[in-house]
Structure 1
Amino acid sequence: MGVDMAGYSIFIRSDLLQVFWAGMQAGEFITGAVAPIGTSRRTGRRVLLEAGGVRPRRGRALKGRCLSFAQREEIAVLRAQGQSLRQIAAVIGTSPSTVSRELKRNSQPGVPYRATTAHVMAYERASRPKSAKLHMNLVLRAKVEADLKKKYSPEQISGRLRRQFPDDLEMRVSTETIYQSLYVQSRGALKRDLTACLRTGRAVRRPCRKAGQRKNRVPDMINISERPKEVEDRAVPGDWEGDLIIGKGNLSAIGTLVERSTNYTMLIHLPDGYKAEQMRDALTAKIKTLPEALRHSLTWDQGAEMMDWKTVKMDADIEIYFCDPHSPWQRGINENTNGLLRQYFPKGTDLSVHSEADLDWVAAELNDRPRKRLGFQKPIELIENLLLQ
């Protein structure tokens, strides 16, 4: 269904659309916002882009007297069964006159009543959109546009107008109205290209998330700050750093493990993808190939692939710590190794074509390279005796 609402095509049912926007407004990422309504991240992103990142005002409070989608589904089913208006009203808990009005207003001529179509028609009717202030007041619009071109922020423009026109309410406009008029083109006021004058220059408005608002994708994770201090010295082998290198279109990946004191590298084969359960099994199996003396700790970033880290910790008998967000330097050795691995696995290529034997060969070649940090010794030379224990 592609019904035009608020100037863009909606691919989510109207009532569920508001659930999506409520999630975005609360600080969720697209994946989290679409989860309660059972649609894809791609669909959510499409709606977000076509709305300019601004939640539509329509339909935010369609409650109380309005029929729900579930009630409309009941009406459609009972009507098809030939039930009377009174019988339908008794089932959905409303009056016969409400059912009668619903069938008259929200049915298309010559077409049986359908819940989906009726819900959209009711949504459109209840919205009662009004013209934007900047669309109607040309003097105010010209003033706002001129200030935007001076690189004033919407907040600065709104505040300045209150000082310049203290007694003229028609020459006032809120910060939010300016943003709405910039990003929601259906309001027909400010030109979208003026968004380039804003500090961010974004063509799509993004929610402002406060520190700590983002939900941890990894449950109950142990932060790197709690990692034993002796790990920093790299004096004792057995502390590892891990990450993924991602293939074309984010559809494939290879897991990487690097030992901190010796730079010894192991690669994890992920032929079926890198979701949490796939990563859990492959990582556990790879760590268990090591002797217990080399299983002290593992430091990873906060990727969703490590959702099952507790199982890995228990099954592989290794402590697991997580870096701070956007802090790749906390896994510096691993980051450097991933850069070397791109010689073998270039960015933008499909990594699923490589077999486990291919990965073992690449790891062996990398471990046979002399390293300046190791006094030009090879990782395999430093760790060989430990691996044989």
Structure 2
Amino acid sequence: MSRGCHNTARFATQAIPAKACVERPVLDVTKAKVDTRTTTVTFSDNTSSAFPFVWLRENCQCSTCFQSDAIARLFLIDDLDVHIQPKEVQVTDGSLRMEWPDGHVSVFTGEWLRRRAFTPDSRAAQRTWCMLEKKLWSSEFEVPRSKYSTVMHNDKALLDWLVVLEKYGVTVVEEAPRRVGAINDFIERLGVLKPTHYGRDYEIVTHVTPNNLAYTGARLGLHTDLPYCEYPPGTTWLHCIRQCMGEGGENDLSDGFYAAEKLKERHPHHFETLVNTPIYFQDRGYALYDFDKITPRTSISLDHLGKICRIHVSSQSRDSLMDLDPEGVIRFYEALKAYNDMLRESGVLVKSKPGDILIIDNTRVLHGRTPFDPSISEGPRHIHNAYIDLDDLRSKRRILQEKLGIELS
């Protein structure tokens, strides 16, 4: 994930620039220069890129080597010579034609090659198509809002909403039907619900004998959901059907990426501790079945570029068992406390009203809850909870971009 800028401005609903794609001229290959291991292709717009022979051979698009309906290679790595060199290279009808030593011929159009060019601009464009750049936020942030009926029935509004969620990690959808199942309908417009040991979805209602702190009026610290799972859900959905009366019950939210960047800047040794110290998370009890989930993971995860890509924090489910020596335990607590201070310093409070759906990127935005007194409400606080993975949301965003011809700036 890319590091986003810190932006504390207040955002208008769906304030994400998106524009219709302009019609692009067809790009032809105009020249090909052969080197020892690559051929450098020049396109009709005077841009160029080197393409390795081994990559070109593996990515031959002919029907023998590639199944276009399945979008899958038929040519296997078993048969690939990593030192292969072409017998002949030609530019024919605006395409690159390669003849290989065994007589096989591969033809690549300029448009196909240009999209896959190994230039910095093309690689950056592909990273954006895969995953939008994150916009980090702090205590001045105002959570963007949308209307349920609009995003449910308008594809452009849904695309705008998906972009907001992917960039900022949190949104509120207002005026949803005040019934269990409204978020199921919304999620099924996007992909599939992610089931857990608590069920396909579940209701958070105050209980006398709760099996989770969420079912009480107690304060919940900032956390990510289900860090004890090998694959925690990508997004958390909280639909307010009945809110508590009086004080408390606000959603406590903080951008874990922003706080982690601040921790790295102010206390780099604490940042390194949280990046490099695996901690056990556990949840044990009974819901659909007896369960004992436990997974070791670091509080802050980095991607292959060394950028922050995932947060795992939960005092509720962090196990007391620690695979560390005493000095390591002390270093961890010092680092976690410093990180929590950063989170608290940059957080916001949002109290959902009945009909609001709060959607949170569970890999990034930590959430909690201020305490409330269940006894002063007309009925128990009632939240309907479900999950869907980020894979489905990003997939839907790309599908809608193609369908609507939208280019994101």
Higher relative strand content: 2
TM-score of Structure 1 vs Structure 2, range by shorter chain: under 0.3
Higher relative helix content: 1
TM-score, normalisation: structure 2: 0.25
Q: Larger RCO: Structure 1 or Structure 2 (Cα < 8 Å, ≥ 6 residues apart)?
A: 2
TM-score, normalisation: structure 1: 0.26
